[in-house]
Structures are given as C-alpha cells and as structure tokens.
Structure 1
Amino acid sequence: MSDRIHPYTRVVGAIIVPFLVAAFMLLYPLAATTDRFFAWTILPPITAMLLGSAYGGGIVFFVHVVRPNRWHAVRYGFPAVLLFSVLLAMATFIHLDRFHFGFLAFDVWVTLYVTTPFLVVAAMIVNRGEDSRRPAERDVALPGWVRLLLALIGLCSLAVGLVLFVAPQFGMSVWAWTLTPLTARVCGAILTLPGMVNLWMLRDARWSAFRQIFQAQLVGLGLILLALALRGGELLWTRPAAPVLVCGLVLSFIAYSALYIWAERRRPGHQRV
C-alpha cells in the first residue's frame, strides 16, 4: 500500500481551499457585515466568527490535503468534513427563507454544500485501502488513556452538537449567546467536527494520523478564543453555558497544545535544546 493521497482528492482540496479563504474573510474580520456580503444575515457577529473559525481550521486541513502528504495523515478529517457539510446542507434547506436570494454568496453557498458531501465521499472511496496502518518513520504512539480522554471529549462535543442541530429551540434557551434556529443548527454542526475526529483515536494510536488535523483544530480553537475576546460583550453571562463554554474552550486549547508539544518532543529526530 502506497499511503498516497489520490490526485482526485488533491484536486478536491485545491477547489475547496479558495472557498474557505473567501468565507473566512467574510465571516471573521467582516463579521458585522453579513447582511451585505454573506449568504444570510448572521447575528450576533460572534456566531459569524465562530463559523469563520471553523473555516480557518478547514483551510489548514485542506492545505495539508493538497500538499505532498500521506493519506493516513488526513484521512480522519474527512468523516468530520462529511458530517459537517451534510448538516449545513440540511440546515440550509430547512431555513431557506433566511437566506439572501439573488446574492452571489448565496449561490456559492448552496452549490458548495450540495456538492461537497458527494465530493468528500468520492475522495474517501478512491483513497480506500491506501493506509497501510504502519507507523510513519518519525512517529509516536499516543498512550491509551490520552486517546480515551480525547475520545470522551469528542463524544461530548458530538452529542452537544447533534442536540443543538436536532433541537435548536433547546439550544436557543441555554446557549452562551443569542441564537436563532438556523444559527443553533450551524453551531451544532461546528461542534461535531472535533467529535468526529477524536472518536477515531480509539482506533488508531499513531500521532502521525492526527498531528496535522490537530494543527487545524488548534488554529480553529485559537480563532474562537480570539473571537470570544473581541466579542465578549455578546455573551450572556447570566446563563451557565457562557462560563462553561469559555472555560471549556480555554482548557481544550491548553490540553491540545500540551499534547501537541508532548508528542512533537517525542518524535524521533526531534532536537532538544
């Protein structure tokens, strides 16, 4: 087995990256202007920045897909992308009345989320069997307790995300800031991303299978924390979810960073100063 990324998959990644960059720019630095430039009006702006943070992490992930790389280093990100894109496609058609018909951004959004699930499934199929399951040359085996802990965190994130998506009214009543049914479902879809990745850690102990995906997750988490710092006034601190969410994100960023540094320092050939 070659452990290669199929050329088709690289092409898909190369197509997706520019859309992610454009969406990030519209949603993160221009979060307060979605009524004029995005596919639908997102209020409060912190929700737009949350979605933009997911796209920021997605840029890092798909750059790894496009560049010379091994399939096993990115494969566990694809099921997460598939679920995320399916949920956003469903949310779009459930709440179609909330979108800006006639806007180019709307046409691009619908086209992207109608086609992406099929493109991702095809990528998973053409790369099927490429992973030899052997450790990379400079690899580290993650301890079982670390993988179990991260899988449990991922399961919680996945469960909360699915509850938000299926029961948005419940999410609207408890979330850390004001949501609509559409944005509750979008926030739920975002929370499924780390959940779908972390659960695969129960199956695979290779750090090389998660290293580059963790880079994307750290970028996404860092952007979310920056958004919270910039838009903290939009948080509803009277709701218990606000401090829980903020503390959870901070602790997750610290834990992910610590694991990344720990694993990198144990990779064969790492230069210790």
Structure 2
Amino acid sequence: MTDGAPTHRATTDGARTDRVLPYTRAVGAFIIPFLVAAWGILYLFPANTDTLFAWTILPPVTAMFLGSAYLGGIWFFVQVVRPNQWHAVRWGFPAVLVFSTLLATATFLHWVKFHFGHISFIVWVTLYVITPFLVLAAMIVNRREDPRVPDDRDVVVPAWVRILLAVVGLAALACGLFLFVVPQVAIDVWGWPLTPLTARVAGAILTLPGMVNVWMLGDSRWSAFRQVFQAQLASLVCITLALTLRNGELLWSRSAAPLFVAGIAGSLVAYAALYLWLELRLRRAAAPVAT
C-alpha cells in the first residue's frame, strides 16, 4: 500500500474472505434496537430518567453524554449489520467490549441505585450481562477473516497522524480509567456533578475513543477506521450539542469544565478535518489518471 496511491487487494488464503460472518451480523442486529431506545430516552428526555430509565441520572447532561455514546454505537452496529467487510468494523469491537464490561461492572457495584422491576432495568441488566460475551465471541469467530491487506480503494493514514491520535486516545483512556477506578476523587474535580455510579459511566464512555485510537498504531489502512471514525464524529456532534444545551449544569468554577468543553470542541473540529482530508486523498487516489 503506497501513501496516497490507489491500492488493490492482494491474493490471500481462501479462508480469509474479509466477511462479517452471520453470527456477528446477528449480534449487531440484536444490539441496535436497545441502543435506539436508550438514545431516545437519554438524549431526548434526559430530565425524565427517574421514570423512564433503569436508574435516575443527574444532572441531565450526564444522561445526554451517555446517549451520545449510544448514537455512535447505533452508527457502528448499522455498519456491522449491512453488507460490509470485517476489517472495516473490526477495531470497533475491542472498544465495545471494554465499554460494555465496565458498564456491567458498574451495574453490580452500584446495584442499589437501579429501579428494580422497571422494564428499562430488566433490559439494562440483561444487555450488559450478555453483551460482553456476545461481542467477545464475535471477535473470536471473525478473527481470521481480515486478510490484512488494503481495500480495493484505500490510502495510508500517515504514521504521524496515527501516533498523534494514539496519544490522544491514551489520554482519553487514562481519564476514563481514572473516573472508573477512583470515582470519589474524580467527583471532586470533574466539570459537572457526578455520583460514584455516573463517574464510572462517564469513565466507560471515555474509553471508547481511547481504545479505537490506540489500535491505529498497528493498522495504517484508512478503510479499517473510516466507518468507526464516522461513529465517533456522530458521538462528538451529540456531545457538543448536549454541552451547549446543558451548559448551566457545568461547574464553570472548576477548570475541568472549560477544559472538557474545549477538548470536545477541539476534537470535533480536528476529527472532522482529518476525516475530510483522508476522504479527499481517497478520492484523488481512486480517480483515473488522465492520459
């Protein structure tokens, strides 16, 4: 694969078809309806989680933050379900595995905070008990499908870009794990009010971009991250809107509030610019050479 030049799939072992296998598509189809329902409740009715959701989330900006992650998940799993190549969605699965495992752990650590008997609680617990296993199984059954060669139309993501994104990802991952492991400490410095449960949930959300970006160090194909980037952009747009609509809930006296807002806004601009730049390079690489 050459930098900026059109690429072609090499002949590979016949066992490596780059397919998203039926089991993996079924997992995506199973998860999407729950994500859609959760996004609708958390993002459109964030002030009503006491009656509509599995647990009461305060302040509402936290509900919208979680809803934003679910919108990215909807976009991602739609790509899994539709006709697609495995390598185009492969690197989203480790992020989903970590995210779902952390939310399952948070659920059992804060069991008494949930609305027992509520349909949303039953769905939440069922989903987060089984999703880590479903996702892990999908990663295992599909693991040999990636031929590890460029797509028919592909470009290289330059090493400096991948390193920079990995650094950003490691920072997001470290911040997320800080929130999850020591929520009581995080509560005292975060940019809006948190409880130990919501701190852990916010931490789990931050691990999503962290996990995706770190994998870019080992795979330079734009086709391997293009659709996952689309999901991240969808989440960033929703988070930016949530912070705008709920800015009164942020603790502006703490430095974490303006830093977080600036970080999200900067990430949105940078990710959008990077996406457009790589798409332009992809189009140029695929354009026929004039004779």
Same fold (TM over 0.5): yes
In the other structure, the counterpart of 1:266 is 281
State percent identity of aligned pairs.
67
How is 1:85-100 mapped onto 2 (pairs within 5 angstroms)?
A: 85-100=100-115
> Over residues 55-78 of structure 1, what are the superposed CA-to-partner deviations in whole Å (9 max), with x where a residue is unaligned?
000000000000000000000000
User: Residue type matched to 2:108 in 1?
Assistant: F
User: Residue type matched to 1:181 in 2?
Assistant: P
Select which of 49, 60, 63 maps to 1:34: 49
CA distance in 2, matches of 1:162, 1:242: 18
In the other structure, the counterpart of 2:116 is 101
- Shift of residue 270, structure 1, vs aligned partner: 5.8
Residue correspondences, number: 271
User: Residue type matched to 2:187 in 1?
Assistant: M
Matched, 1:84 2:92: no
Select which of 20, 30, 34 maps to 2:35: 20
Select which of 77, 94, 97 maps to 1:62: 77
- Say if 1:240 and 1:130 are closer, same or farther in 2 by CA, change over 3 A: same
- Shift of residue 170, structure 1, vs aligned partner: 1.1
TM-score (norm 2): 0.92
How is 1:49-198 mapped onto 2 (pairs within 5 angstroms)?
A: 49-198=64-213
Select which of 240, 246, 250 maps to 1:225: 240
User: Residue type matched to 1:249 in 2?
Assistant: I
User: Residue type matched to 1:143 in 2?
Assistant: P
Select which of 234, 251, 259 maps to 2:266: 251
Q: Secondary structure at the match of 1:174?
A: coil
User: Residue type matched to 1:8 in 2?
Assistant: Y
RMSD: 0.8
User: Residue type matched to 1:144 in 2?
Assistant: A
User: Residue type matched to 1:269 in 2?
Assistant: A
User: Residue type matched to 1:40 in 2?
Assistant: W
- Shift of residue 225, structure 1, vs aligned partner: 0.1
> Over residues 75-133 of structure 1, what are the superposed CA-to-partner deviations in whole Å (9 max), with x where a residue is unaligned?
00000000000000000000000000010000000000000000001100110111111
Q: Secondary structure at the match of 1:266?
A: helix
Q: Which runs of 5+ in 2 are unaligned?
A: 1-15
CA distance in 1, matches of 2:248, 2:287: 43
> Over residues 158-177 of structure 1, what are the superposed CA-to-partner deviations in whole Å (9 max), with x where a residue is unaligned?
00100100000111001100
CA distance in 1, matches of 2:77, 2:61: 24
CA distance in 1, matches of 2:121, 2:161: 42
CA distance in 2, matches of 1:270, 1:50: 40
User: Runs (4+) of structure 1 moved beyond 6 Å?
Assistant: none
User: Residue type matched to 2:193 in 1?
Assistant: T
- Shift of residue 224, structure 1, vs aligned partner: 0.1
Instruction: Answer yes or no: is the 8 Å Cα contact 1:140–1:206 preserved in 2.
Output: yes
Q: Which runs of 5+ in 1 are unaligned?
A: none
- Shift of residue 269, structure 1, vs aligned partner: 3.1
In the other structure, the counterpart of 2:58 is 43
User: Residue type matched to 2:194 in 1?
Assistant: L
Instruction: Answer yes or no: is the 8 Å Cα contact 1:264–1:270 preserved in 2.
Output: no
Matched, 1:240 2:258: no
CA distance in 1, matches of 2:118, 2:287: 50
In the other structure, the counterpart of 2:224 is 209
